[in-house]
Structure 1
Amino acid sequence: MAPPIANDPWLRGRHFGIVIDAGSSGSRLQIYSWQDPRTIKVEKDSVLSTSLPKVVKGTKQEADWVKKVEPGISTLGDNPEDVGSYLRPLLNHALEHIPPSLHRETPIFLLATAGMRLLPPNKQAHILHETCIFLRTQSNFKLDRKSPAGPCGSSVRIITGEEEGLFGWIAVNYLMDGFTGSNDQRTTYGFLDMGGASTQIAFEPSKEHRRSAKNLIDVRLRLMGGQEIRHKVFVTTWLGYGTNQARERYVGKAISQFEAHRDDDDEEDVVEDPCLPKHLELTESPVHTSPASSHSSTSHTLIGTGSFEQCLRATAPLLNKSKPCPDTHCLMNGVYVPPIDFSSSHFIGISEYWYSSDHIFGLGGAYDFVQYERAASEFCSRDWSDLVKTHEEESRKHHLGGDGEIESGGKVVGVGQWGPTVETARLQMQCFKAAWITNVLHEGIGLPRIVDPGGNGTTKGDKVVAQAEKKGLGRPAFQSMDTVGDLAITWTLGKMVVEASKEIPAISKFAKPIVDPIDDVEDLEDAPFQPIRPPLLSLAGLEDRLTPHLPTSLSRENLGFSPVLFVLYVITILLLVFVCYPFRKRIRSFCLRAMRGAAKRDPYGDLLEEGRLGGGSRPASPTMFGTKVPSPFRRFFPSNRPINRTLTLMTPSKSYRNGNSSQRPSPTRLYSHPQNGLPQLATASAMQYAHVSGVSSRSPSPAPQSFMDDTQSIISPRSRNASQMNLAASLTPRPMTMSRVNSSARIV
């Protein structure tokens, strides 16, 4: 499909943003868009001025705004060179739906989550490096420069579970209008997210607890009117408290307890499990065990007894509430969390909170503990064969995805129990997941159970809000959600809200730019969570990639050193020699000059070496490779041409002409020649003689020997270059023609 054309009215003033959510099971590309805030007229004190930019799906056809590939990018840890072919379908999808003229101003992000966090740092680094190269060379989308955050800065990196929680908190409050209104009237929602490996919580403590709360993160956004809003948010994550890892810990504990109380006559490894539907049998191998016997690490058969109440009691110890708390207030596993006032703090749960409530029980939305517990108890107590039969029947009725409605001929003709998107694995684990979520909400986080003795047996989820209002609780304390309107509640939406907020002009030119919450932390060393910063590139990582392809005899263990690094060092040295060899003479000359400059120099020798004696022509400018060298570099690149230096000397005084060698000449001194302004050497007694143009008619007579001795003593013994040898030759006594008119002599 071709991207929209440039004159499409839908594109007028529209900006785009791309996020690739690189998760453990797959990578999902999402395209968002918003109107350029600079093109929107915002009136002061209007509703729009107190709102955030409206972020929507970024394609005209809403179904095209998302594209997914499987499996996760972390599976390329051993083959990072395949990143390009892996990401190609996602990048092509973005290129097809965003006009080329807008590519350079459209930011693209690849933010990896749980799967990439589990890889070693060197594998993380190579995947990020290959991803950056692919996106930078195969598209013109906007990418950050290299920084400690990653090879493409913050555009391609691994985010922590806490960052996911912060972005999710922003998305929830953006969709639920938690950021609108004045500061006094603004009440934000708390955010709960549970996946397979971990669970997160993010919320803004109440005013009473905000001052004493620790580890709060600044979240800054800019409203359309240019005002900045700031919230202090607490966020934390519990690793191992997602549904899948909680199940693994539960199975290990159940098998260990079975082995500890096992009869000697019991030869069957069959464990009763109240968290499975009745008569369901599963063979599972424990991952987390506390060995009580040699059988505790072997596979066991778990057979369901279908008791939700017993499952609640069996899973409660997994919260580890008894672990010592180093701070004043902790929830699960000794992790500090500020006190939560549920009378003013209202939470929204996504992911597993939604799936376990809606996909099976049809109870998504406002949470009612009594109704949820009744549905879970009924489901767990059903026979597994009956659940399988019902699932097959429901799947043939073509439900409208997940809502339990049965469609026939385009019309709803009935209501079933669950939609066709529910898989058998979901039915197997539903009893356990329902009990785990109930324990996390009430025993872990402390959500109060609202029980109406008058009976709410006929209560539906959509009536919980009204009941809460009657009890003076306002909004429900907790509700599970998946979408608001047509937008899914995901952390990627929160990231795009931040990006759109960055584009709003501030009221003051001194305002601090809007950045990601992690970039607002001044002292990362003392921050409640540390950003993930794998090495950009390292030789150790290269060694890890090449070593598996070498014979065992060439391994580091057998040789005592790394053959890969040794070869790299040898190649580097050879390349350096190859590059420097053509310039060996210049390098040698430069080194000699540097050594001479470090030594103390004779003043006259310096003058001679620099060619400042004599009245000859000015030396030609040094050249390099046949071109004129700029003056600042001439000392490093001397000329290859010979430089003629001519020394013009005055004849000695009359006593020397008469052969009287007893009178020594005056000490030599420096003076300027009147014609060319160059420094000259002369004796004080010879200053009376002038340079004449005429030639004497008298026969030449040799210069006095004493004068020549003094003149030759001027030449420094260390002057050995060609120009100095020419100078010495020019000082050899030559016949002189004397003039009676001016009594002056000139060396010929």
Structure 2
Amino acid sequence: MPPPSGLDPWMVGRHFGVVIDAGSSGSRLQIYSWKDPRSISIVKGSELEFTLPKVEKGTERGDEWVHKVEPGISSFANNPEGVAKYLQPLLSHARKHIPPSLEKETPLFLLATAGMRLLTPVKQAEVLQEACKFLVLHSSFKIDEPSTMGPCGSSVRIITGEEEGLFGWIAVNYLMDGFTGSSQNRTTYGFLDMGGASTQIAFEPGHVSEHDAKHLIDVRLRLLGGQEIKHKVFVTTWLGYGTNQARERYVGKAITDFEATRKDGQRDVVPDPCLPKDLELTEKPVHDVPSDTHTNKAHRLQGTGSFEQCMQKTAALLNKSTPCPDTPCLMNGIHVPPIDFSVSHFIGVSEYWYSSEHIFGLGGAYDFVQYERAASNFCSRDWDGIMKEHELSRAQNRLGGDGEVEEDGKVVAVGKWDPSVERSRLEMQCFKAAWIANVLHEGIGIPRLMDPGGNVTTEGDKVEKEAEKKGLGRPAFQSLDTVGDIAISWTLGKMVLEASKEVPLSSSTHRPLVDPIEEIPDTPGFHIKPIRPPFWSMNGIEDRITPLLPIKLTRSSLGFSPVLFLLLISFIFFAIVAFPMRRHLRASCLRSIRHVTKRDRGYSLEEGTMPNGHGYSGASRPGSPTSTTQKWLYPIRRVFSFTGTKPQPVALSVVTSHNPKLRHISTTPTRVSPTRSYSLPNDFEVTASSTQYVSRNSISRSPSPSPALLDESLFMANNNVLSNGVPSLARSRNTSQMNLSGSFTRQMTSRNGSFQYPGKGLQDE
């Protein structure tokens, strides 16, 4: 099926956004759409001016706006190369439903949640890098450039539980019109979300103290009229407080308590009030149990079916007695600002909805009395009877998660479950119902609503009326899954924010909108820490370079990493060329530095002026091409000298007024004295074959030079030899003086009032 055409009236002026919710059990791609805010005519003072862009499903009809693959992306921790094949169906689905002409302006996000948070930082980075590379190379969707957040910026990353809560809070208030109306009458809803591993809370406190203000995050949105609205929201998460991990903690504690009071010969059967009557499950503790004890072994848990006892046992898992360093706290010592339930009304999604609706049929406005009765009845039922009823419902294809079966518009049966409810849901329903009730009332503190009839009244439609009688207005808590035909999820909140970013700024003083995580206060010890895996590894560098390379030079075409290959070549070059030349390179750098320093100090290099201020006459002979060539070839010759071929000695002569003729003296190499160096002040003659010096007068001793200066002197002497062997030093017709202090130390012999260096020690002939 080809992508939709821009000629479709539904497509006119429509923008899209794509989110991949990479969860622990699977990845769900969702396509959203909205009208371009710049194409909407806004009448001043109209209701439209004070509303957010309308975010809808990304397909005109059907459920094709969602596509899911399994398992979770975190399962590729040890095989990150498999991420590309895993994401291929999701990307193909998105490209099939979004016109190619709109791809470049359509943002695409892959935001990973609980499963990826459990991986090590290195594993996280490897999986995300492969995901980023695949999405960039195989689509034209709008993806962020590399940044400190990752190789694809904020487009491909792991979000924290708090971010899930903030996006969910935006979604709930968007669907419940919490952002519309005047600022005086605008009241937002609190948001509760519970999964298998954690639970989150996000709400806007009514009266914020100065102490609590530092714990809040700014959430900014822009209405269609250009007005920016800002809410200060508190959000936190409790890891280990999702239904699955809470069950694991419960099992560990139940087995530990059983072993502590176990009698000799007693079977490994643990009574469990949180399972339906006579249901037996074999479970093994996974938390805080020594591995070398009998407690760590698998035990059979047998259901006794008591909801009241289950409530008592699971209440201890809230850890209400944990020390609270920053009061007030709710559960496990985590600070939460005071909640005024006469103002703050909460909506729960995910497990709050499933545990209420799927079996009890009590989703929506929450009545604890009605909820408690349904849970007690279910837990006390015989497990065989539960399974028989469930199988009958599946066989008859009785749909409806509300527990009612209708025929010809009349309810003919109750207590029938949706065929999509799996066996595991029925097994854990008693425990989950008790855990949800404890978190709501004992943990968060939502009041239990007791109507005048005590436990007699059980009609859910009276809950809102009773709430109004008690001055609460709306129910303090209700569970929801959808509003209209839009599911409540954090992905919707993310897209509402993206659509709001497209509204033009009404004032130059307004700042562009950003994700709430980027609005975190710069406060030490803030309770939210963004997840930043170490992306800048070898793969991270390759990800940055690959888009700039021709396709034939990428890893997929070459079969190996081009970055690793370049690094290998660089290492070989350094080992063979750069390392042997390290001293000469250092000498060159020092010479360049001195040259720049002298120039900055105003030294004149004109004829007759020496850098030390002493004048001389004569013209400097310019260097010949041969001299220049030798200058650049010298380091290369030095490199190849390590292979066994030594360079031939070069004769160096300096002609003075007493020695007008050039004399080329070549002697055997002499041993260098480690302690002496000499200054030749008057008329002298220098011969460099292993750099030897001949003086006609006297030799004065001077301090021994450093090895670096020795190397530099040798380098300069050889680099100033002309094509005919004459050094390009200034020649004077009169007496010349050159201080060679710091030159090579040599052993010397004397002949006819002059000194030579034959290499056999100091002798006077």
TM-score of the aligned structures, taking structure 1 as reference length: 0.75
Alpha-carbon spacing, 1:445–1:522, altered in 2? closer, same or farther (3 Å) = closer
Q: How does 1:287-298 map to 2 (within 5 A)?
A: 287-289=286-288, 294-298=293-297
State the Cα distance separating 1:538 from its structure 2 match. 2.7
The equivalent residue for 1:629 is: none
Q: CA deviation at 1:523?
A: 1.4
Shift of residue 462, structure 1, vs aligned partner: 3.3
Report whether the alignment pairs 1:347 with 2:349.
no
The corresponding residue for 1:263 is: 263
Matches within 5 A, 1:328-727: 328-406=327-405, 416-455=415-454, 457-523=456-522, 525-538=524-537, 572-576=570-574, 594=592, 597=595, 603-604=605-606
> Which residue pairs with 1:30 in the alignment?
30
2:129–2:539 CA contact under 8 A, matched in 1 = no
What is the CA–CA distance in structure 1 between the aligned matches of 2:514 and 2:383, rounded to whole Å? 52
User: Hey, what does 1:648 align to over in structure 2?
Assistant: none
For 2:201, the equivalent position in structure 1 comes to 201
Aligned equivalent of 1:139:
139
CA deviation after TM superposition for structure 1 residue 447, in Å: 0.8
CA distance 1:263–1:69, change in 2 (3 Å): same
Check conservation: 2:365, 2:460, Cα contact below 8 A: yes
Change (3 A) 1:139 1:411: farther
Greater mean alpha carbon deviation, residues 238-247 or residues 599-608: 599-608
In the alignment, is residue 92 of structure 1 matched against residue 92 of structure 2? yes
Mapped to 2, the partners of 1:524 and 1:62 lie a distance apart of 47
Partner SS state of residue 296, structure 1: helix
Q: State the distance in 1 between where 2:212 and 2:610 align.
A: 80
Deviation larger for 205-214 or 451-460: 205-214
Partner amino acid for 2:429? Q
Asked if 2 retains the 8 angstrom alpha-carbon contact of 1:404 and 1:416, the reply is yes
Q: Secondary structure at the match of 1:350?
A: strand
Change (3 A) 1:409 1:26: farther
Q: Output the CA distance in 2 between the equivalents of 1:194 and 1:718.
A: 78
Q: State the alpha-carbon separation in 2 of the partners of residues 721 and 598 from structure 1.
A: 25
**Contact between 1:289 and 1:296, CA under 8 Å: does it hold in 2?**
no
Q: Is the 8 A contact 2:151 2:540 kept in 1?
A: no
Deviation at 1:571, TM superposition (A): 5.7
Q: Which residue of 2 aligns with 1:118?
A: 118
Change (3 A) 1:499 1:599: closer
Deviation readout 1:224-249 (Å, 9 max, x if unpaired): 11111111111110111111111111
Superposed CA deviations along residues 307-338 of structure 1, whole A, max 9, x for unmatched, are 00011111111111111111221111111111
String of CA shifts for 1:551-588, please: whole Å, max 9, x gaps.
Answer: xxxxxxxxxxxxxxx9998764115568989x99x989
Mark the CA change 1:594 to 1:60 in structure 2 (over 3 Å): closer, same or farther.
Answer: same
Query: Given that residues 105 and 141 in structure 1 are in contact (C-alpha distance below 8 angstroms), is that contact kept between their aligned partners in structure 2?
Result: yes
Give 2:664's aligned residue. Answer: none
Instruction: Give the 3 Å change call, closer, same or farther, for CA 307–414 of structure 1 in structure 2.
Output: closer
| Pair 412,539 (structure 1): closer, same or farther in 2 beyond 3 Å | same
Q: For residue 591 of structure 1, report the CA deviation from its aligned partner.
A: 5.5
Unaligned 5+ residue runs, structure 1?
A: 543-565, 624-715, 733-748
Q: Structure 1 33/724 Cα, relative in aligned 2: closer, same or farther at 3 Å?
A: farther
Amino acid of the structure 2 residue aligned with 1:574: I
Q: What is the SS of the residue equivalent to 1:220?
A: strand
Is 1:174 aligned to 2:174, yes or no?
A: yes
User: 1:456 and 1:54 mapped to 2: Cα distance?
Assistant: 43
Runs of 4+ aligned structure 1 residues displaced above 4 Å come to 208-214, 289-293, 405-416, 539-542, 566-572, 575-581, 586-593, 598-602, 605-609, 716-732
The answer as to whether partners of 1:362 and 1:417 remain within 8 angstroms in 2 is no
Kindly tell me: are residues 428 and 722 of structure 1, through their superposed partners in 2, closer, same or farther at Cα, counting changes over 3 Å?
A: same
1:299 is matched with 298
Answer yes or no: is the 8 Å Cα contact 1:256–1:292 preserved in 2. no
Answer yes or no: is the 8 Å Cα contact 1:256–1:289 preserved in 2. Answer: no
Instruction: Verify the 8 A CA contact 2:269 2:300 in the aligned structure 1.
Output: yes
Note the alpha carbon deviations across 1:389-436, whole angstroms, 9 max, x for none: 000001112133524454789999765521101111100000000001
Residue aligning to 2:662: none
Q: Does structure 2 retain, via aligned residues, the 8 Å contact 1:205–1:338?
A: yes
The aligned amino acid for 1:181 is G
Deviations 1:690-740 (A, max 9, x none): xxxxxxxxxxxxxxxxxxxxxxxxxx99965579989999999xxxxxxxx
User: Aligned partners of 2:539 and 2:66: how far apart in 1?
Assistant: 37
* Residue matched to 1:237: 237
Tell me: CA distance 1:153–1:729, structure 2 relative to 1, closer, same or farther (3 Å). closer
Question: Aligned in 2, Cα 1:487/1:576: closer, same or farther, shift over 3 Å?
Answer: farther
Q: What is the deviation of 1:604?
A: 2.8
Identity within the alignment, %: 65
Q: Is the 8 A contact 1:366 1:478 kept in 2?
A: yes
Residue identity matched to 2:430: C
Q: Which residue of 1 aligns with 2:77?
A: 77
Q: Displacement, 1:521?
A: 2.0
The reply to whether residue 314 of structure 1 matches residue 316 of structure 2 is no
Structure 2, gaps ≥5 residues long: 542-563, 612-618, 630-716, 734-765
CA displacement, residues 642-700 of structure 1 (integer Å, 9 cap, x when unaligned): xxxxxxxxxxxxxxxxxxxxxxxxxxxxxxxxxxxxxxxxxxxxxxxxxxxxxxxxxxx
Deviation at residue 491 of structure 1 after TM alignment: 0.4
**Within 2, Cα distance between the matches of 1:294 and 1:718?**
81
Q: Provide the residue aligned with 1:43 in structure 2.
A: 43
Q: Distance in 2 between matches of 1:143 and 1:607?
A: 64
Change over 3 Å in CA distance of 1:516–1:719 after alignment to 2: same
Alignment-derived partner of residue 130 in structure 2: 130
Instruction: After TM superposition, give the deviation of residue 518 of structure 1 in Å.
Output: 0.8
The answer as to whether partners of 1:190 and 1:204 remain within 8 angstroms in 2 is yes
Contact residue 369 and residue 458 of structure 2 kept, 8 A: no
Structure 2: how far apart are the matches of 1:69 and 1:258?
Answer: 41
Compared with structure 1, are the counterparts of its residues 159 and 525 closer, same or farther at alpha carbon in structure 2 (3 Å cutoff)? farther
The residue identity in structure 1 corresponding to 2:592 is: A
C-alpha distance 344-80 of structure 1, shift in aligned 2 (>3 A): same
Are the aligned partners of 1:400 and 1:407 in contact in 2 as well (CA < 8 Å)?
no
Deviations 1:624-657 (A, max 9, x none): xxxxxxxxxxxxxxxxxxxxxxxxxxxxxxxxxx
1:82 counterpart SS class: helix
* Structure 1 residue 263 displacement after superposition: 1.2
- C-alpha contact 2:203 2:234 (8 A) present in aligned 1: yes
Aligned Cα RMSD in Å? 3.7
Deviation of 1:47 (Å): 0.7
The SS at the match of 2:332 is helix
Q: Which residue of the partner structure matches residue 547 of structure 1?
A: none
Whether the aligned pair in 2 keeps the contact of 1:165 and 1:191 (CA below 8 Å) is: yes
> Which residue of 1 is the match for residue 108 of structure 2?
108
Deviation of the 1:210 alpha carbon:
7.6
Q: Give CA deviations for 1:360-417 in whole Å, capped at 9, x if unaligned.
A: 0000000000000000000000000000000000111213352445478999976552
Residue deviations 1:126-166, cap 9 Å, x none? Answer: 11111111111000000111111111110011110001000
Q: For residue 347 of structure 1, report the CA deviation from its aligned partner.
A: 0.2
- 1:163-213 Cα offsets, whole Å, 9 max, x none, are 100000010000000011111101000000011111100001112658745
For residues 157 and 575 of structure 1, do their structure 2 counterparts lie closer, same or farther at Cα, with a shift above 3 Å needed? farther
